[in-house]
Chain A
Amino acid sequence: MTAQPQKIQTQAETSLMQQFAFLDLEPSRQAAADRLNESGLPHRRVEEWKYTDLRALLKDVPQLASAQSVVPTTAGQPLVPADFVLAVVDGIPQDLANAGANASDAAKEAVSLEIGLGDAKGFHEKPNANVDFNMALASSGYVIQVRKSAVTPIIFIDHIVSKADAITAACRHSILVESGAQAILVERFSGPEGSAYVASSGLSVIVEDGAKLTQARVVAEGDQSSHLATIGARIGTDAIYEPFVMTLGSHLVRTDVQITFDGEQSHLGIRGATLVKGKQHTDMTLDVDHASPNCTSIEQFKSVIADEAKAVFQGKIMVKQIAQKTDAKMMSQGLLLSENGEFLNKPELEIFADDVVCGHGATCGDIDEEMLFYLLSRGIPHPVAEIMMVQAFVAEAIEDTEQPEIIEAFEAILADWLASR
Chain B
Amino acid sequence: MAESLKVFFLIANRIYISDGIRSTLGLSVENHYSHACIFYNKMPKVTEYVQENIDWIRDMEGDVFAVVDTMDEEAKKYNVDEVGLTAITLEELAQKLREADVIIGYGLPRQKHAPPPACAD
Tell me whether A and B are bound partners: no
Report B's interface with A, CB cutoff 8 A: none
